[in-house]
Amino acid sequence: LGEDQCCDLVLQALKVPGTEIADSNAFAAQHGAATEVMSNAIKSLGSQDMVMTQSQAVIEWVMTEEGEGSFKHESAEFSLFNRFPAEGLEEATLSELERHALNYLKSQRLVTFNKATKRCMKVEGATMERDTTHEMMVRFVRGSLEALSKDEQKDVQKRKLVEKRTRKLIKVVRGPAYAETRKPTVPFLTKDMLAKGNWDQVNFKPLKLDAISAHPPAGHLHPLMQYKSMVRRIFISLGFQEMPTSRFVESSLWNFDALYQPQAHPCRDMQDTFFMKDPALMVTMPAGGLVEKIKQMHEQGGNGSIGWRYHWKEEGRKNIMRTHTTAISARMLAQLGQNYPAKFFSIDRVFRNETLDATHLAEFHQIEGMVIGKGLTLTHLMGTIRQFFEKIGMHDISFQPTYNPYTEPSMEISAFHPGLNRRVEIGNSGIFRPEMLTQLGLPNDVQVLAWGFSLERPTMILYGISNIREMFGPRMDLDLIENHPLRLLGVHTN
């Protein structure tokens, strides 16, 4: 019988309301169907809600191999007794089944062990007219254990003629969508069915929402972007606000002067900075006396500082590609007003006129941050930076003193690079100089902790990329993009 026929049999059997199939296996056997096929048919009807099943574990008694033998032919003891040799038997020559039989005969005093001959001998005049074991097994088959007396039940169990077995019994009853006959099952609704209006005469295959599907050829985040979104989440979780970073072209005023970087500083040279040809100059200088305050601070100082003591020129009007995101922080501080304490971060591109090699590109990303408040110290700065790197899985960072024109004190941050087997610089930090804060209009008792971290270096460590040029443009390995989940620094390194 096939599955379809089994389905029909099941539906027919439940035709009278309230009827049930008490045991699906017995039902299969009764109709000469394979249990497997029947159970598939029931499953399929169940998935269409035409039937419902309840499974129940039942304990049943079945015959052992020995019990089966006694039932089909005759018991081992009956057979042994009837062909018992007159000269007796040597126990050692017997099979296991025969030894069982012999023991039984001994227990019934039909056979005894003769010490003189060392053999088992038939007892004088003993007879065995009936095969009671065979008779018991016949009764057992007709009505299971209940067909036997209490003593017999104990006997067949003790002699291991029958044994206990648990079986899963599946009961089948009508389901909410029961019908005497089945509608054909189809996978989809078609235009044709709608046109003919016969869409309700079919069953639709249920959708398998948990099926494992082929991987869709979807887009994946570039490793840098994965790392960037993780960094963003970390800063947001620490209560930081994101600064707007869309201004790739910046004026020297914001990129350098506002940070109290002297105009003769070598980093303003053509070497490091891309100057804009068009428009070469900032069109409108910021109002509100900011330019004057910057000029004043650079030339003469103030607030306890003696300034840089040079003639400040309108150098600040020159447009450049921003060399760091600290320019954004300067703009933020200038418009901060009384809105502190506050914490800010940004992650975006900066541009430098570098000689391109395995670790340098003309554009890269910086993770910028600052904490503004009163009573802030270097310890707060170190604690904040440590906490950030802990969160990306880097537990072994260290600080070295360094120089920055706009921070004092300044600290470089380094971490161990397992690939290079040495410590590498991953960031720079410090406390903004009072000259910078004063010229941007912040009060004397406010400190600003600040840092700039590399985005590329940790990403390269994470993904085992040794050449920065393999992370940008056509040399990027697409497989790496598709198959690498976000990793934590220091946790997985290869």
Shortest distance in whole angstroms from residue 320 CB to ligand PHE: 14
Of residues 183 and 386, the one with the C-beta less far from ligand PHE? 386
Q: How many residues bind ligand PHE (CB under 6 A)?
A: 10
The residue among 368, 351, 358, 389 whose CA lies nearest residue 465 is: 358
Q: What is the DSSP letter of 8?
A: H
Using CB under 6 A, which of the segments 93-101, 167-175, 232-240, 446-454 binds ligand PHE? Answer: 446-454
Judged by beta carbon, residue 203 or residue 429, the one nearer ligand PHE is 429
| CB closer to ligand PHE out of 380 and 484 | 380
Q: How many C-beta neighbours within 10 Å does residue 351 have?
A: 20
- Compare residues 326 and 438 and give the one whose CB is closer to ligand PHE: 326
Task: Decide whether 48 or 429 has the Cβ nearer to ligand PHE.
Answer: 429
Angle at alpha carbon of residue 51, lines to 46 and 52, rounded to 5°: 80
Binding of ligand PHE at residue 252 (CB under 6 A)? Answer: no
The CB-of-451 to ligand PHE minimum distance in angstroms stands at: 5
How would you classify the pairing of strands 249-251 and 185-186? unpaired
Q: Determine, following the binding rule CB under 6 A, whether residue 452 of this chain makes contact with ligand PHE.
A: yes
Residues ≥6 apart with Cβ < 8 Å to 218: none
CB of 220 to ligand PHE, least distance (A): 30
Tell me the CA distances in angstroms from 78 to 93, 153, 306, one per residue in order: 18, 19, 123
Half-sphere exposure for 65 (CA within 13 Å, toward CB): 2
449: Cα separation from own chain's centroid: 37
Contact between residue 317 and residue 279 where contact means Cβ atoms under 8 Å apart: no
Phi and psi at residue 208, in whole multiples of 5°? -95, 95
Segment contacting ligand PHE (CB under 6 A): 26-34, 172-180, 354-362, 422-430? 422-430
Give least dist CB 350 to ligand PHE, A.
7
Read off the tokens for 193: 């069915």
DSSP string, 94-125: S-HHHHHHHHHHHHTTSEEEETTTTEEEEPTT
Tokens of 482: 């598709």
Q: Tell me which residue has tokens 């040279």.
A: 269
Single residue of 203, 226, 251, 404 touching ligand PHE by CB under 6 A: 404
Residue 212's alpha-carbon distances to 208, 215, 374, 431, in angstroms, are: 9, 9, 56, 53
Report the residue number, 275 or 403, with the smaller CB distance to ligand PHE: 403
User: Shortest approach of ligand PHE to residue 448 CB, angstroms?
Assistant: 9
From CA 80, how far away is CA 106, in angstroms rounded?
12
Instruction: Determine if 459 is a binding residue for ligand PHE (CB under 6 A).
Output: no
Q: Is 451 in the site for ligand PHE (CB under 6 A)?
A: yes
CB 10 within 8 A of CB 172: yes
Bridge partners, residue 347, by sequence: 367
Which residue from 251, 346, 384, 428 is in contact with ligand PHE, where contact means CB under 6 A?
Answer: 428
Token pair in block for residue 389 = 């790197």
Using CB under 6 A as the binding rule, whether residue 458 contacts ligand PHE is answered as no
The nearer residue to ligand PHE, 319 or 428, going by C-beta atoms, is 428
Nearer to ligand PHE, 81 or 451 (CB): 451
- Looking at the DSSP bridge assignments, the partners of residue 185 are 203
Tokens 């097994």 -> residue: 137
Nearer to ligand PHE, 70 or 459 (CB): 459
Phi/psi at 252 (nearest 5 deg)? -60, -30
For residue 139, what is the enclosing H or E element?
A: helix 132-143
Smallest gap from Cβ 402 to ligand PHE, in A, equals 9
Residues of span 326-355 touching ligand PHE by CB under 6 A: 326
CB of 326 to ligand PHE, least distance (A): 4
Residue 434 binding ligand PHE, by CB under 6 A:
no
C-beta closer to ligand PHE: residue 48 or 407? 407
Least separation in angstroms between residue 432's CB and ligand PHE is: 7
Which residues have CB under 8 Å from 349's CB, separation 6+?
A: 248, 363, 364, 365
Task: State which residue, 98 or 272, has the beta carbon closest to ligand PHE.
Answer: 272
Tell me which stretch binds ligand PHE (CB under 6 A): 111-119, 164-172, 204-212, 449-457: 449-457
Under the criterion CB under 6 A, does residue 76 sit at the interface with ligand PHE? no
Give min distance, CB of 290 to ligand PHE, in A: 20
Q: Which of 429, 438, 439, 459 binds ligand PHE (CB under 6 A)?
A: 429
Residue with tokens 């150098």: 315
Instruction: At 55, list the tokens.
Output: 């499974």
CB nearer to ligand PHE: give 360 or 492: 360
Quote the distance between the C-alpha of residue 174 and its chain's center: 40
Distance (Å, rounded) from C-alpha 59 to C-alpha 62?
A: 10
Cβ-proximal residue to ligand PHE, closest one: 452
CB 322 within 8 A of CB 247: yes
- Contact between 430 and ligand PHE by CB under 6 A: the answer reads yes
Minimum CB distance to ligand PHE smaller for 452 or for 458: 452
Pick the binder of ligand PHE from 407, 438, 439, 447 (CB under 6 A). Answer: 407
Site map for ligand PHE, 307-326, x if CB under 6 A?
-----------------x-x
Supply the minimum distance, in Å, between the C-beta of residue 368 and ligand PHE: 6
Residues at the contact surface with ligand PHE, assessed by CB under 6 A: 324, 326, 404, 407, 428-430, 450-452
